[in-house]
Amino acid sequence: MRLIVIISILLTTASYSQEVEDDSLKKVQEIQGVEVQVLNVSVRIARERVNHLKRRDIEQLQATDVGELLQKFEGTSLKSYGGLGGLKTVSFRGLGSQHTTVCVDGFNLSNSQTGQVNLGQLQTENIEQLVVSVGEQPRLLLPVAAQISGSSILIETFENSFTNDKFGLRSIIRQGSFGRLGGYLGAKWKVGKGFISAFGNANNAYGEYKYRIQNGFEVDSSNRLNNDYQDYAFGATYGLRMKKTNFRIGYRQKSIDQGLPGAVILYNSSADERLNTLDQVLFTDAMIALNDLWYMRAYASANSNQLNYTDPTYLNADGFIDVAYSNKSLNLGVVGYRFKQKWDFNTGLESTVSSLSSNDSLFANPTRYSYSAIAGARYSWWMLALKGQLSTRYITELNENGESASDKMTLNPYLSLESQERGRMYHRHQLWYKNSFRMPSFNELYYNNIGNSGLIPERADQFGYNLSFVPVERNLDWHIRVAGYFNRVRNKIVATPTKNLFVWSMQNIGKVDVFGGEVVSKLKYTFKKNRRIKISSNVTYSLQKALNMTDPEHPSYRHQIAYIPIHSANLDLGLELGRTGIRLSTNYVGLRYSLNENISSNELDQFILMDISAYHSFDWRNKNRLRIQVSVKNVFDSSYAYIRSFVMPGRNYLISVSYAIN
């Protein structure tokens, strides 16, 4: 059954993840280099302590989606099924994509059906800042679910942030290979003490591209079929800034119609499945300064995800498949934080209700009720800071069409010891431990012939050491981070065949140990005589040994987990001459395996991708900017795949013209 195979692919896309660094929302005078707006969810970066990309870097990379941007972060393993809007998931430090929370403007994106977010469908045109956090979150006015997850992706957009400017505008038109044409327009007006914003964007691509694939001793070439993609999105937000309170309410919607090209199978080019998606989000929050010490944020969001899958030529009694799913969730919470000279405290409560329904009479109709709480404290003395945190979560479920999963309760501690930035090189050390978990998705619990309502949550013990320092500052700015870590995943959920290759079962049978290290070097040099000339370089290297420790008698014992490369790296070089610049971006993904047995027939070739972009900006009246950028992606026309048989595009181009005010 093709549908079961597709669902199985979605269920088994568990890589894994971890990465730490945190930005402290301390008062300005206490941490050098930090801009603080306590009543803003946005993250402010202190001396490269958090992995982040700001708007300038995002523009230069000209990524097509958030999944592509995340390749620039160390410790990242990307799974991409190809094409504009194609499924993209990432894991950090070997923990799996379902251990990662995606948070946009302080509100979690949720999908309890699959347990993960398709990053290939998140646009980049409106992103002001992208932060990746592992371990402790940066910071404590985020939703409770984001604070207790193994890792998180934090996105700050143009539309949902307060402004002091009377009017702001972002617009862009993009045209590229494979029939791609898209545009975005966002505007923000200051109204009294608040703001009103609105945006709209649309993308279209026919998606067919040539590919090459090894067939024995020969190389076959063909065109990727049924890979078209169309989407549109719009939304609006209202914000009001009062004396001690910031209030926001907003709505956004996205509709997607796309073909599913499937795996490249030799001698069989049939591909006619379609997927239609409608996502809607209504959100609101209020951030309040109770006094000079206590700050609080109350938030609520309602998410609706409608999905319709069709296969008009499926060989069953009906001669087709047409199945629809409706996944809805309501999230309510409150978080608080107390600032003081030596002692800081944080706390939070959160409640989530999510449900899944389908027109498939055999499918379950589950509803999940989840309650979370968190409490922590941080004590600073001399050159050290100690932080402890304890979170708990209780989950109960109701299944209208069958057996319900049992109630679950978890306790998850976090402990960190770090040094303050001292000395000429601003050394900072951190030792930390975190216990985290991820709930089984509705598909894993209840999907036809696959689900297992007896599944228990995966748990992960994460240990890490981080060192960050600044060897040189001023004209030559050089930031370095080094990290080492060990993660142990218990009760790992895996899909295993039972009666045959089309009837699977989800089971808690896995154990994974992940050892790794990372190095990041960011350097920028500004010439003294002509400060308009700047040279920059960003280098990252990651080592990940994610080993299957489940069964000593199994052939795959102590083998590398599928699709996690042992070695990966990035090298970005930039040259700016005033308003003109060029950026060379390379990404290396080492040898991987398509299955947990590390044998030659399961090997996936390593590859290096190189992109080049050139841009020029026209600025006038200090607040208006017109920018033209041309990018060539996969310059050497490499044939590569993140997932076996899902061949990625060769050389392609992308041209963008953007106009901004403020």
Per-residue model confidence (pLDDT) at position 29: 28
Give CA 654 to chain center in angstroms. 23
How long a stretch of residues is the chain? 662
* pLDDT tens-place string over residues 328-378: 999 999 999 987 778 889 999 999 999 999 988 778 889 999 999 999 999
Q: Which helix (H) or strand (E) holds 392?
A: strand 384-399
Q: End-to-end distance of the chain based on CA atoms, in angstroms? A: 53
Q: Give every CB contact of residue 501 below 8 A, 6+ residues apart in sequence.
A: none
* pLDDT tens-place string over residues 171-203: 999 999 999 999 999 999 999 999 999 999 999
Domain boundaries, the chain: 2-603
Residue written as token pair 């870590």: 485
Per-residue model confidence (pLDDT) at position 495: 72
Distance CA 446, CA 437 (A): 20
Per-residue model confidence (pLDDT) at position 210: 85
Q: What is the DSSP letter of 406?
A: P
Q: Within 10 Å of residue 147's Cβ, how many Cβ atoms?
A: 26
For residue 646, the cross-strand partners are: 643
Ranges of residues in the chain whose predicted pLDDT is under 70: 1-50, 83, 85, 137-140, 215-217, 266-270, 422-425, 449, 496-504
Identify residue 617 by its one-letter amino acid code: S
Q: Dihedral sign, CA of 315, 317, 321, 323?
A: negative
Instruction: Report the phi/psi class of residue 39: left, alpha or beta, with left for phi > 0 and alpha for psi in -120 to 50.
Output: alpha
Distance CA 623, CA 57 (A): 19
Both tokens of 411, joined, read 């306790």
| Cα–Cα separations (whole angstroms), residue 80 to 70, 247, 393 | 12, 37, 32
| CATH class of domain segment(s) 2-603 | mainly beta
